[in-house]
Each structure stands twice: as structure tokens, then as C-alpha cells.
Structure 1
Amino acid sequence: MSKIALLFPGQGAQAVGMGRQLAESLPAARSLFDRAQAVLGYDLAEVCFNGPAEKLDSTVYSQPALFVCSLAALESLKATKPEVAAEAKATAGLSLGEYTALVFAEAITFEDGLKLVAERGSAMQAAADLVPSGMVSVLGLDLDKVQAVCDEARQPGEVLQIANHLCPGNIVISGHTSACERVPAIAEKAGAMKTIRLSVAGAFHTPLMAPAVQRLTSALAHVPIKPPRIPVISNVDALSHDDPHEIRHLLVQQVVSPVRWEDSMRVLLNMGVTPFWEIGPGRVLRGLLKRIDRKVAADGIEC
């Protein structure tokens, strides 16, 4: 019998126009956008469907937008392949996507999850505004070599560290802008195939996000969390947790800790998961999976 896992994308997967087709064709998806407007106080559908891209790409808007669009795609899955959603035995989400996974696992309600994601996006943007910082994807180097690149590029008083362990040969580092600017030359010298400066507001998943911790801690303290009905793999430690107190703690830690995505996928593979389904905008997670295990079966529902 198949052991299905659903995966939910994180920031960077957004694109103007996402969610429109689902909202126009599926009442359950349209309802999510209507409920989101009531929670947020603005028309999220307008931002998703029509942009502009500069607005949608802002952390404040992209995080709620991806959360709602991914859950709209989940409604499409339930409508077209109800057996896949019903038989899923585990779930995970990349960074922001972990909140979507927790809603799917019925640990958090849609409305509470959206409030948390909106506060998270706002708090992370505010932290990013305090100091020039960013993220760089390094392709073609193993973990030890990327760590050595960080150590060489970082100068006293700067932050530069591994932020996302995505898959073999694809590792994201994050830190002060001055340090990020030294990375391409150093990485190329170390044998990297390519470096890509990411279009994000700041150094996510590093201590530079510490100013967001208090706001997120406060928001999580006021949200009921139940034990998930299926395992939700945490980005922080690549383990599943049933204790709501632990889940709250890990969601706070997530903003200042590296995302262990490759480890999380290997945990699911060791559980015997097959196939994987990527639910939400884009195909990034399926691509990462193929780099981790080229034989893995993966499908998706986009929006």
C-alpha cells in the first residue's frame, strides 16, 4: 500500500496569477480567498492574481499568498484525487510551507495559520529592514566546502552561514550583504558551478532574524495547537513532534535556524514514503527530491 506524503512550498515559489484558475473554477478555493480577506483586512486574491510582482514578492504579502494558494491547491487535490489527500501518511513544508503542512495535519486551523503567517511575514520583513542582508544559493559544492566558503567570506562582526540544506549540490547561505557579495568569487575558486543571489528581503534562517522571535513567540502563544493527525517533519530538526509546546518552540526557532530540507526528505524516504505530492505553486520541491533520490515518485497539484 502506498505511503503518500504531501509537500508544501515556501517563499520564492510565488508568481503573479497564482490561484486565479482555482478560484474561478473551484468554490472551495474561492472560499479560502474570501476567508483570507476577512482575516487580513485586504484583498489577497487581487495581490495573487494581478500583482504587481514587486508587491507579491514582498515578504509581508508573499507568505500569506503562498499559504492560501497552497491550501487552494489542496482543495483541488481533494476534489480531483480525494484518495491521495485521504491516504497521506506524512507531510512537510519548506520554511513557510511548514505552517501549511500543520494546517493540512489539522494541528492549526486555517484562520489561525493565516494570522500566524501574516505576523511571521511582517516580523521577518521588519527584521530584514534593520540591516542590509540577503541569501545566496551555491550550486555544485558539498556541505563542507560551502561551510568553508562561509568562513572565508565572513569578516569579523558579520553573519554568514548555511541557511538551507536543500539537496546535494544546492545549499543556500545567508547573512550580511557585505559578506554575501564576497561569496561568488570565493565559491567559484572552490569549484562551485554557479551562485545565485536570491530575491528575498533579508538573511532568513540566521540570527539576523532574531528581532522577529519575540513577535512570533507572542503570536504563537495565543494560537491553539493540537497534536497533528499525521507526522509533520520539522525544518529545524527533521523530526516529527506531537507536543504542541514543542511545535510552538520549533516554529519560533525555525526563523533563526537552518532549514534541514534534505534531511527531512531522507526521513520521509526512510519511512517508506512513495509517492510524494507537491501541493502549491511551482515545481521546486519535486526537483529537489530528484536530486536527493532520482528514483523517487513525485507528482503535484499547482495553482
Structure 2
Amino acid sequence: MSNSPHTDSVRALLFPGQGAQFVGMATDLFGSEPVARELFELASDRMGKDLIGLCTDGPQEALNATDICQPAIFVASMATLRVIELHGGSNHLESRATAGLSLGEYSALVHCGALRFEDALEVVIARGRAMQEACESTEGTMASILGLDLEAVREVVAEAATAGVVAVANVNAATQIVISGEKAAVALAGEKAQEKGARRVIPLEVAGAYHSPLMASATDKLRPILSEVEIQEPKIPFYANVSGARVSDPEEIRSGLIQQVESSVLWEPILRQLIAEGVEEVLEPGPGKVVAGLVRQVDRGVPTKSVLGKESIEELLEGTLS
């Protein structure tokens, strides 16, 4: 992967996470680019699943399973980078900084040279399985609260704790914050948020309570795996979900990856810091345009180029991708 430092770049590479998957994603890449197909075949072998078939034909319900979509999204992002590099587009991957949305942190860590692809793949597969098992063993859900700031959401979460486990899961924008936890507690927090003036509370269709204490069993399963993984100091500035800040120490990165499954994703603080430090454009390698949408919510003046299939890669290389 491209991981040379380019301090004069004004670009950040930001990687998508779970929820970006769709049937048909990356099919033209692994259908025509051997380097992409190799990555998907390796993942299929490690998973014991036909990842190419699931991405090509679905069904969507099967692709949505946490143990399937996490490696699928990760490999799609990595395949995109490999194809761009293979076709002489390394200059488009030069970046001032990198980060990833939850699962996307592993893509970012490979891009910046902190993790080897094969090691990250092993962890991502284990992470997806562990989180899937946690979802199946708990009754959790999530909801998006629009129109309240983080302080107000933390207040309603504290008040709703009388009904069970509930936590701040994702800080996506200043007034778009996702909560996660036991169903009764999430429902009560939603009611209290509306009482405080939330514009909307949107229940999310998810398999479980991601980024909450209900994922504790997944953390326990990941900890010994992550403790053995070799992590290098990033060659490109890397910004971590759990702190919302730049992290360069390998042991601090390791600790953050362990905490991340249960902790809040501080995405909006990451974006604000990147913009304050000179990022003027974003490249989103992988499926969907979730990252692009979140960047627009923080600063509409920062353009994001979302790239996955051959057409968008060709447009990127030709300088016509908008």
C-alpha cells in the first residue's frame, strides 16, 4: 500500500466502515483485475466463505451479517488502493493524514504502514465473528439523535441508564449522534432526547448494540489476537476513533483497537482536527459514500471523492472524478 509520508499533500484518505456494503460492490474490480481478485480469494480462504459470491450475488441479508460485511468492506477498500497503484495512480494516494470509520481504522492502518494487510485481515475476520456472536447473545439496538449536541446527548444517556445499558456510540457530526445499548434504555434515551428538543430520533436497523458495553464479549475475544499483532509506527499521520486525535505510538494504537469495539467513535472531532491542520480534500476508497456525507456535514467546502469500481478509478486517474 502507499505509505510514504507526504507532508505537502492537502488530502486525507478516510475509509468507510460497516453499513457501506451492497450487493455488487467491487465486482468489476475482482472480475477484471487479478490483483483485486487475489485479495478477495485470500479473504475467502481465511474465512471459509465465498466472499466473491456474496459480494456478487448476495443476498443482501447474508452480506449484511457482521462476520461477512466487515472483511468484505475491508478487502474492497484494500483492493481499490491496489488497483489505483497498479495503474500508476500512487500520486492520488499521497496524503497528509488517514483515519477510518470504526472498521475502517484497519484499512487506514494498512494504508499508513502500521499494519500488514494479511495481519489486518486476520484481525478483521476475527472482529466480525466476535461482534456477530455478541449481537446474537444480547438484545441490543441503536438510534440516531438529530439536533442535540454531545453534552445534551450525554445527559440523556445518563438519565436513561436507569432502564439499562446505553452509551454514546458515534459522534458523526455536531448534532448527529448515535446511541447504543439495551432496547429499553435506548428507547428511554430517545424519549428524553425529544423532551430536550431533539429534531428527530431515528431507530437504526442494526443487528446489535455496536460501540457499547454490550460488545464486551467481542473485546475479550479480540484482546489476545490484537496483543500478538505486529504494529509499526505510522508513516502517515493516523487519527484514532477512541481519542479523536493523532496517534503514533504502536502500543497506543493497539490499546485503541482493543477499546474501540465498546467505545465511542469520535468521527466529527477527527474531521474537525484534520480540517484545522490543513486537509482540503478527502479520498474515500471503498464502498458507499458514507464518509463523503459526514464530511459535508462538518464542512461543505471540503470535497470528497468516493472511489471503488473501475469507472470511478479511471475518472480519478484521468482527473475527472468529482
Normalised by the size of structure 1, how large is the TM-score? 0.93
Give the aligned residue type for 1:110: F
1:9 maps to: 16
Cα distance in 2, alignment partners of residues 25 and 13 from structure 1? 22
1:53 matched to 2:60: yes
Matches within 5 A, 1:119-198: 119-156=126-163, 158-198=164-204
Q: Judging changes above 3 Å, is the alpha-carbon distance between structure 1 residues 42 and 189 closer, same or farther for their aligned structure 2 residues? A: same
Q: Judging changes above 3 Å, is the alpha-carbon distance between structure 1 residues 201 and 274 closer, same or farther for their aligned structure 2 residues? A: same
Cα distance in 2, alignment partners of residues 247 and 172 from structure 1? 24
Flag structure 2 segments of 5+ consecutive residues without an equivalent: 1-7, 310-322
Q: Judging changes above 3 Å, is the alpha-carbon distance between structure 1 residues 142 and 241 closer, same or farther for their aligned structure 2 residues? A: closer
Match for residue 282 of structure 1 among 288, 297, 310: 288
Whether the 8 Å contact between 2:96 and 2:237 is mirrored in structure 1 is yes
SS in 1 for 2:162: coil
Whether the 8 Å contact between 1:4 and 1:89 is mirrored in structure 2 is yes
Aligned alpha-carbon RMSD (Å): 1.7
SS in 2 for 1:13: coil
1:140 Cα deviation (Å)?
A: 2.0
Give the aligned residue type for 2:16: P
SS in 2 for 1:11: coil
SS in 1 for 2:177: strand
Give the aligned residue type for 1:245: E
1:84 matched to 2:92: yes
Give the aligned residue type for 2:91: E
Whether the 8 Å contact between 2:9 and 2:96 is mirrored in structure 1 is no
Per-residue CA deviation, residues 213-263 of structure 1 (Å, 9 max, x unaligned), is 221111112222111111111001122222222211110011111010011
After alignment, is 1-10 or 141-150 more displaced? 141-150
1:183 Cα deviation (Å)?
A: 4.2
1:184 Cα deviation (Å)?
A: 4.2
1:36 maps to: 43
1:291 Cα deviation (Å)?
A: 1.1
Normalised by the size of structure 2, how large is the TM-score? 0.88
Whether the 8 Å contact between 1:36 and 1:111 is mirrored in structure 2 is no
Give percent identity, aligned residues only. Answer: 45
Whether the 8 Å contact between 1:128 and 1:203 is mirrored in structure 2 is yes
Count of residue correspondences: 301
2:306 maps to: 300
Q: Judging changes above 3 Å, is the alpha-carbon distance between structure 1 residues 198 and 105 closer, same or farther for their aligned structure 2 residues? A: same
Whether the 8 Å contact between 1:136 and 1:198 is mirrored in structure 2 is yes
SS in 1 for 2:234: coil
SS in 1 for 2:96: strand
